Amino acid sequence: MHLTDDQLNEYLDNESAERAQIDLHLASCSECAARLTALQTLFAELDSLPELELTHSLAARFTRDVNLTPQLPRWLTLTASLQAVLALITLIVAAPFVANLLPAIETPSLTVMLIQLQAQWTTWLDVLSTLQLPQFPQLPPLEISSLMLTLTLAGASVLWLVGNGLLLRKQIK
């Protein structure tokens, strides 16, 4: 009685539950041993198949087309940096003008502020104990020239718009 093809296949695939019996049979049956050798030759031939190389990389598609967050070109990065620098300069230039207008607002010293805060806190506690809303002091009116304010804001806005327009140009296209 010879081994079946299924037995030989399972034996070579290490899926056989009867390895010991098959080994015993193969040791004494040259016909089955020859069939096993033929099957082993086929396995070796399949294993010997060389790997082929691709003609082009498949990775490029993922780093270019599918890229959802593309790398910005160098010139665009420089433009964004320039935008930030110009906006900072605008703020520095505008600062003295704004500072000229600030004296109109009375700024008390730290000690005075703390005393006032303490007094205010006491007042608030009193108010809270009687469940009444406190009276807030009136802030002095801020007197900034509307022309100066408009010019400063307009300058910063133009820079912001130009910078972001350049950054978004690719997406708009």
Partner 1 sequence: MTAPTDRDLLVRAMRGDNDAFGELVTRYQTGVFNVCYRILHERGEAEDLAQETFMRAYNRLEQFDLEREFGPWVRRVAANLCLNHLESRRVSAPLDDERDADQSQRPEKQVEVKERSEQIRGALASLPAQYRVVVELRHYQEMSYDEIASELKIPLSDVKSHLFRARKLLAEKLHAPD
> Which residues form the interface with partner 1 (CB under 8 A)?
5-6, 9-10, 13, 15, 38-39, 41-43, 45-63, 66-69
Please, what is the minimum distance in Å from the beta carbon of residue 19 to partner 1? 15
Query: Measured between alpha carbons, how far is 161 from 46 in angstroms, rounded to an integer?
Result: 64
Task: Name the residue nearer to partner 1 (CB basis): 15 or 106.
Answer: 15
- Tokens read off for 146: 């509307």
42 vs 162, which CB is nearer to partner 1?
Answer: 42
- In the complex, the smallest distance separating the C-beta of residue 68 from partner 1, rounded to whole angstroms, is 7
Separation CA 40–CA 13 (nearest Å): 10
Distance CA 81, CA 159 (A): 12
How near is the Cβ of 137 to partner 1 at its closest, in Å? 51
Q: How many other C-beta atoms lie within 10 A of the C-beta of residue 88?
A: 10
Minimal distance in Å, beta carbon 52 to partner 1?
Answer: 6
Contacts of 86 (CB under 8 A, 6+ apart): 159
**Shorter beta-carbon distance to partner 1: residue 67 or 77:** 67
The region, left, alpha or beta by phi > 0 then psi within -120 to 50, assigned to residue 78 is alpha
**Which of 72/82 has CB closer to partner 1?**
72
